[in-house]
Structure 1
Amino acid sequence: MDDHTCARETKNRLANRKWLACKLVKKLRKYPNLRHSDAAQYFKTKCDLELNKSSLTRALGDARYVVYGDAAAQYGMVRDYGLTLLKSNPGSTVTVGVIPQPNPDDDPIFEKMYVCLEGCKKRFLAGCRAFIGLDGAFLKTRHGGQILSVIGQDANNHIYVIAYVIVPVKNTENWRWFLELLHQDLGDYKKNKLCLISYMQKVCNIYRLSLKMMFIHWAADYIC
């Protein structure tokens, strides 16, 4: 069989702006901080395409508008989402905090949101261990923010989500707001004999245990 001697073609007219943007939308949803060089490398590796900078820039701009535009528009539907939760889960608690604008005619800006579903609340009080863990994580999106969660532990030692909030930053004020609403939903933690532990306490306990084990081994070797 004769060896191919024709040059490899890395240009394709069918790879137009619309097609490129469609491909990049999927990548941006998975990698929100996708850079221009990353997109170029993706098409080079995946599709064997070498794209000029202007074409890729326009396509990446279109894809970002689709992804980030959709995300921004969804904040305008937060109240509808909350009402839907209350309608489908009677007895739940959904609280939305907003930042009012100087002009009364302007829509307020979303700030934070608290969600505690009735089913999760009742099942936790009825059948889970009297243990509550507090934790938080960053939301890796263009709009940022953090999600704070309160979790329990069921009889099978599985994680059980009780409530969660979306806040701009994890600080004392937002934790207080979160726990005050949780207190209203679950009742007095002393009366219900609930034990609360934060993610920082877990680290400290492990650190103290490590120090204790180090001292035991050191004492066994050097103390008569």
Structure 2
Amino acid sequence: MKLHYGGRFTECPNRKYVEGEVTFVDMIDMQQFNIDLLYSVLNSLGYDSSGTLYFHYKIPLKWLDKFLKPLVNESDFEGMLEYVPKHKTMYVYVENGNTTIGTGELIDTIKPNVTLSETDLHELDFESCPSDNENDSARTQGLRKLRKGIKNSFFVGKEFANQQEAKDRIRAYAVEARRNIEFKKNDKLRLRVICKGVVPSVNNKDAFVDKVQSQTDHKSDKGKKVIEHEENDKVECPWILYISKGDKGKWVVKTFIDEHKCLQSRKIKHCTSTFLSKHITDIITNNPEIPILAVQEQLQKKFHVGVSRTKAFRAKAKAQKIMKGDAQNQYALLRDYVIELQRCNPDTTVKIDVYREEDPEINTRIFRRIYVCLGALKKGTYILVELVWAVASTATHHSPPSLTTLGGPTDLHSDPRVKASGPF
């Protein structure tokens, strides 16, 4: 890609791009080529991309007057990539602040249309006109907030309570910054983290010509030499982070180089369903029946990374598990519940009924039901039985003692209140 930046377009006819700089960018993945990648390239060149930028590309073998196309949405980038297999090198132009490229209509500079009528005049209230900040796109504002949020993520001397907290913060930084961060060292005493992002090969025109000439001269070379030459040409991102365990048990940042030369990516290794599930619990709480497609759109809008529908489905399921609890973990607590119940209620009887799997070789047991009879309930039932027995014995001392002789409410087998009080 031949990138023109820092300049402006002249008017038609014979439109040109003047007062700018030119650089060549190689090693670009077509699947990751989008507006974010162009911003990353400009940032790596030291170009101020905080303002409103306009991107255009020229159709190969055509001129700038009529064949300059905008790069705004995904369809524009797809249209540009259709020319890549045949023409290889594409010309991309950048405008900052204001664009002189309108709807594509040519302006006749020899006979300009300057005739105005009364209906063409409009009164403007300049105080009500929106400022440049208000006209910024939602994406630009989102990127600014994202940069502010990750600006002070790490610094030398920063402490973490434990290793897990440090690793969680590193993974969160990787997703927020959209960088492919990798743990190079990960043991009980240290963490060494590097950036494995793709660094574009940015050269000037002369260097690009020399590179093409060198490739032409060594076109007949084959085998190991060519592979070693290509590997040596790769540039690594200088970003690095080193954290080690301190004397007090806390993990301290010892080395931090906060400089990225790689391109931002939408495919982040640490953007897992587990990570995403922690950020959608509020959404699931307010709307448990939210569709998977809506969850996917919310996550992509929040983190500006690619989230598949499968990953969004898993993130929603894990978020629901976090809120409602895992059924398997809840059943694992059943025995602890029984022990605590018997401790607080002496003489309590508890029986857990389980059944085996159909396969006899499997040793697991599946819960069926639980029987609980509180000690206080059993004690009250025993007292009632003794009282009824005493009354029955006194009233029928001439006949064999029997609870059924009294009938009515004293009949323990027919009285529903006695049955409701518990088994005995």
Q: Do Structure 1 and Structure 2 share a fold, with TM-score over 0.5?
A: no
- Please give the TM-score of this superposition, normalised by the length of structure 1: 0.39
Higher helix share: 1
